[in-house]
Structure 1
């Protein structure tokens, strides 16, 4: 009997609404805790702030663990509340196998990272309140990404991950490299996020919904739309930039300037996995297209090879892990692409492609465990020796035996060796790549042989950089004279988190099917909902031994033999990286675009109009607006002119217009300031007469009061105004100003005439007339509009006036205080 499920149903029957809202509320718990961090930080200075922050992820992982048996049965839990119902936008916490797995990784790894940071970051030297604010903000953002069913809220949380990761990567802002890495990561990921938003908008237009679940149900119909492929490409750009796929991976190595707890969290289990999550979540929609399969599988495999090849070149421990992360993310991405083929085959042959999706999720879990532990070990080495330069390290095994053991476990798992969990998912990866050679669709029969070949070569380099990381650091000759600190083992508190992750690496190898049944199969069902109706139907059993005749075994043997030979001869061929051209790199291309193209060329162009003259800015903005509006009216044939409803023009109205025009011209061309002020007052009083003519006495009274006060203020400030310039200086730009004035006047006139001549919608004035007394309880329609119908508008106007008044008062006080000091 499923007691956890019975308990949950019992609670839901009693507190159904509260539990639903609390599930959504859990997404915001970390960011709410961050709001109180500055106040809380001052009260607990003797105690490390991390101990109190640790409560948040521990609570969250415990809360999400309650849902594990429910989701393992194939059920989903949905909680939502409306945000902008008129636009169909709501906050939705949608927990299925995929989102629950990521939620547990985010909160579980988050708890271990916070525990690790308590011992890694010195409370007397670091601004811990800032660090934990950024970390909690990021945790909320990631939970929102993986649980959002609404594409708009998903995008909101997606960009919040970019902002919070920018703050975390640039946490040591006094370092140039930290600021550079933070800016680079945000520039690339935010640009991809904007592309992704465009894809979401296209999908919502095609499917008439923002709900991912509803879009999945419409997938066959969506695939026939002309904008389907464009939406696919835009969303993949968002996923590829976030998950550091080729060619967008260049931000990840520079992000290693962040503190090690940040690297262990963002780049092993959370931020870079957001792109993986996005591809997995949208696979049921876009797997209908061969372009999705080619792009996801092809780019993933290219990224796997590229990252593994260049990882061997690195000399910084975190640099090696950065490129290894790029490589491993490419592996997972390629598996998701191959798994999408199962939507196009039927019968017994589709099993191998379902196997690929299973392998992707299984390796995602494995990667979070061994890569998290390796990042923490890299931080420990840096913390205890003062350097991460692998050329200065060596011989640390005897001084740091526990760290060496954890590094050995994590590295062997990353290399795909038994008895570690990475071996299991690597074997499944080989199986998936070999299966493509049997697939005759979308021209895979022509190019499919490249997939297992590239996968095998990349695995060889994976083996090399895994051994390179652990043995060059912990074995060989100890170089104490080259180390800034005397090396020693880290304190036990700093070792707890990597030890837990290393224990999971070994444990998962021996009980893989428990992990598969609990987490992997429900996630696979979420990725392939058309193929499975329950996790039990994912009939895949994980084993470490496939028989002596299995090609996966011999591929692994080949990887080990060639990998060992190349590792032992590394010093002889590693120099080949120096022969590669240094100018023709993606990093140089990025620098050219950002610093040369944007900073210099665009800077020079903006210097043409960014002169500091407010008059110049107004002229450019107003003339541009006039050109765009007038051009649109005539290009789109939107201008209409009709005098059917025009009222009769009387002689006194013509006289008022003449007075208005004369007053305006006099204001502009008068050489005396007194004349200009009087003419300007005449214009205002004439406008008030128009209000009287058209039966608006309240507006006329307001206009008269404003004009009287304005004229009086102008005259009072007459003495303090600057003197007129000479005539020739004043008329230098008269023709350009005349052009702008005429253009803006023509724009307003044409829009007014056109809008009056074509009534596309009934006037709202009729609604006001019908409801001003019955609903608003007022007799004066203008007052009711200002106070009731447009109450918020009026409120904000009052707020603006209040702010302006406060500013004026502050300026007067400041001036008076300065005079008092002089006296």
Structure 2
């Protein structure tokens, strides 16, 4: 049953095109809604088992010879992600039914891509085999690429899809390398077995490279600085995609990876500083950049970057198992909270765009009275993201302040001075977060209504489009008033899965609405006061963004890097693509001589044992001299007719070698083939100009002669070496029994007709197809149809 649930999205994706084609009267989304709903209900049924501290493991043989099995593992950590993937997925599908028009959109493509992504995300979080995990990891990148480029007619959609694919696949390759290093260290592909062997991993010489590569994969997928630049451009996707991929699921894959491998790398100084430092920088830069955005989805994109940085920072602090379980609980709690309020906000922004025709805050305002429900949902989501009560974001933000304050009091890795900066940077980033949350609410809904700038008449969204954000907004409030239910059933089992050395006792008591007049509460009040002042006086100080250099930023570096690489490779390609077959053959032969010949010289692989050679007669010496002379004539002649005759002489002399070596059948075959070939050459080259009339460089063709001699000598050396260094008994002994095996007295015929019968038949088929093609072209020419 568990495997069916994980594969359900892929199986249903096969049916979607049929539903779209044959049941067009019903929106395809209603059928697709069944998939995440069923998965979510199944995940809910797992809650009692997981809450009791148990886990569910399954294994299905896939490539057992390589130790690759489709192994799944469900514990507290994976269940949180499973509920988010399926729960938010169901709400997004419901929202898309009213957002995506079945008359104007290719819904079958949309929902097939969506289901592929949903199945890939479930595969990532529930896979216990690292190879299978990587397969699903890259499938999320491919599905995300397809979803971002859904409106492929738009240049920005194609650009955003390409950008996300390049960055995330680059990180995925790094992740694969890191996972393989872990498997080399532990001699297993199982994540559980790798975690169990964490003590033997720490002192290994591959420990640090594996850590860096895995973090690179996690940072690129979760849009951490400096790899965050792909996320804002991915906002060109339809709003349901942004709400699902870029706020709740795909960007959380890197978070999952860091949490999953914390038992392996947690406690190392490099892990702490890389995860914590990258997270706090991403938090600060994302919140600072969000304020300058005029597009509401771009604002939410940078806010997502900021919030992901906050979660990543908490995971880094929480990796210090000797400190406390609070940071890890806070990371998981904010992970859930972010999925609720950010999913709600993306849907709300989609509603504003859908009803007004714009997302530009400069063209919006005064929508509070026109769209009161949408305004209320925006207030709930934005105030939760700003960390204000009575919303769930307030609780996890307080726990975030508790975590950074606690870390600042520790002499972590003898670097106490730098750790003190954590509360300062966290508090500063929270102020910027408050500012962009106020921008989202008041610049969109407060002020004077601007009907002239709106592209169509504005009204409240239909109820079908409001249901999903209303459910998420309700969860925002419920999680605030009943946090211990979430803590007991989800957060404690997940924390125990990440930090098995920290007992779950006492975790629940940390999540309270009121802790008294603590430092954390005073920090929150300071954030609200200073953030409110900065929002009020935003026109006075927002000019500082104008001083940021336009050409010294990551997007510019990315764009110029792509352009530079395209130009560089274009120059390289134009340099060797001369449209001359001679040049292309020259490249191939030079590469052959350098690589094969160089390796034979470097490793001393040439061997020659003349003891097994037969006697050489005077006739053979004469024939060899004739072949050499004919080959030299081919190189030097200026007449095509002479060159063809010289090539024919070589072929006929080879036939004479077969006669001397007592192989008359081969000699006859060689004579027939050579005769036909010469005739065809003469027929093809009859109308071509003489060699002397073509643009040839004056002088002797030194390069071509050297390359030709090199290829000939090398092939001779390889043949002699192969003859003198036989590792196994020759296969000719098998074919000597051709009469007993195939009933044929002629060994060559037996090989062609019996032992290689299918090969010969297919060769004849190829020649037949080629002959039919030539016959067709000749008929077209004779009928006056020169152009096909």
Query: Does the TM-score normalized on the shorter chain lie above 0.5?
Result: yes
- Counterparts in 2 of 1:438-517, with a 5 A limit? 438-517=409-488
Shift of the alpha carbon at 1:740?
3.0
Question: Using a 3 Å threshold, how does the CA distance of structure 1 residues 414 and 624 change in structure 2: closer, same or farther?
Answer: same
Higher alpha-carbon Rg: 2
Give the Cα separation in 1 of the matches to 2:756 and 2:420: 68
Give the Cα separation in 1 of the matches to 2:431 and 2:625: 88
Q: Which residue is equivalent to 1:639?
A: 605
- What is the aligned residue count? 781
| Cα contact 2:488–2:508 (8 A) shared by 1 | no
Give the Cα separation in 2 of the matches to 1:355 and 1:731: 78
Q: Paired residue for 1:289, among 244, 265, 268?
A: 268
Question: Using a 3 Å threshold, how does the CA distance of structure 1 residues 818 and 692 change in structure 2: closer, same or farther?
Answer: closer
Q: Which residue is equivalent to 2:690?
A: 724
Question: Using a 3 Å threshold, how does the CA distance of structure 1 residues 36 and 626 change in structure 2: closer, same or farther?
Answer: farther
Q: RMSD value over aligned CA atoms? A: 3.5
| Cα contact 2:480–2:513 (8 A) shared by 1 | no
Shift of the alpha carbon at 1:709?
5.3
| Cα contact 1:245–1:329 (8 A) shared by 2 | yes
CA offset digits 1:416-456 (Å, max 9, x no partner): 11221111211111111112123223233121110111111
Q: Which residue is equivalent to 1:266?
A: 245
1:605 aligns with 2:586: no
Give the Cα separation in 2 of the matches to 1:763 and 1:260: 65
Q: Paired residue for 1:300, among 279, 283, 287?
A: 279
Any idea what SS the aligned residue of 1:482 has? coil
Q: Which residue is equivalent to 1:5?
A: none
Give the Cα separation in 2 of the matches to 1:553 and 1:723: 91
Give the Cα separation in 2 of the matches to 1:187 and 1:323: 20
Q: Paired residue for 1:234, among 183, 205, 213?
A: 213
Q: Which residue is equivalent to 1:374?
A: 345
Question: Using a 3 Å threshold, how does the CA distance of structure 1 residues 459 and 619 change in structure 2: closer, same or farther?
Answer: same
Could you tell me which runs of 5 or more consecutive residues in structure 1 were left unpaired when the two chains were aligned.
1-18
Any idea what SS the aligned residue of 1:442 has? helix
Question: Using a 3 Å threshold, how does the CA distance of structure 1 residues 766 and 389 change in structure 2: closer, same or farther?
Answer: same
Q: Which residue is equivalent to 1:588?
A: 556
Give the Cα separation in 1 of the matches to 2:15 and 2:778: 37
Give the Cα separation in 2 of the matches to 1:69 and 1:124: 44
Q: Which residue is equivalent to 1:388?
A: 359
Q: Which residue is equivalent to 1:627?
A: 594
CA offset digits 1:127-162 (Å, max 9, x no partner): 222222222222222222222333333222222222
| Cα contact 1:106–1:269 (8 A) shared by 2 | yes
Q: Which residue is equivalent to 1:312?
A: 291
Question: Using a 3 Å threshold, how does the CA distance of structure 1 residues 43 and 728 change in structure 2: closer, same or farther?
Answer: closer
Give the Cα separation in 1 of the matches to 2:659 and 2:66: 42
Shift of the alpha carbon at 1:382?
0.4
CA offset digits 1:480-519 (Å, max 9, x no partner): 1111111111111111111111111112222222222322
Q: Which residue is equivalent to 2:202?
A: 223
Q: Which residue is equivalent to 2:518?
A: 550
Bigger mean CA deviation after superposition, 212-221 or 331-340: 212-221
Shift of the alpha carbon at 1:259?
0.9
CA offset digits 1:627-683 (Å, max 9, x no partner): 233334444x34343528753453366566545544544444455545544544554
- Counterparts in 2 of 1:509-528, with a 5 A limit? 509-528=480-499
Any idea what SS the aligned residue of 2:319 has? helix
Calculate the TM-score normalised by the size of structure 2: 0.90
Q: Paired residue for 2:403, among 412, 417, 432?
A: 432
| Cα contact 1:521–1:538 (8 A) shared by 2 | no
Q: Which residue is equivalent to 1:10?
A: none
1:423 aligns with 2:394: yes
Q: Which residue is equivalent to 2:311?
A: 332
Give the Cα separation in 2 of the matches to 1:213 and 1:750: 53
Q: Paired residue for 1:763, among 708, 725, 728?
A: 728
Any idea what SS the aligned residue of 1:166 has? helix
CA offset digits 1:534-557 (Å, max 9, x no partner): x85684434224532432222222
CA offset digits 1:348-386 (Å, max 9, x no partner): xx3x2x221221111111111110110010010000001
Give the Cα separation in 1 of the matches to 2:205 and 2:754: 46
Bigger mean CA deviation after superposition, 579-588 or 260-269: 579-588
Q: Paired residue for 2:120, among 141, 166, 191?
A: 141
Shift of the alpha carbon at 1:469?
0.6
Shift of the alpha carbon at 1:716?
5.3
Q: Paired residue for 2:134, among 155, 164, 177?
A: 155
Q: Paired residue for 2:541, among 573, 579, 589?
A: 573
Calculate the TM-score normalised by the size of structure 1: 0.86
Shift of the alpha carbon at 1:309?
1.0
Q: Which residue is equivalent to 1:738?
A: 705
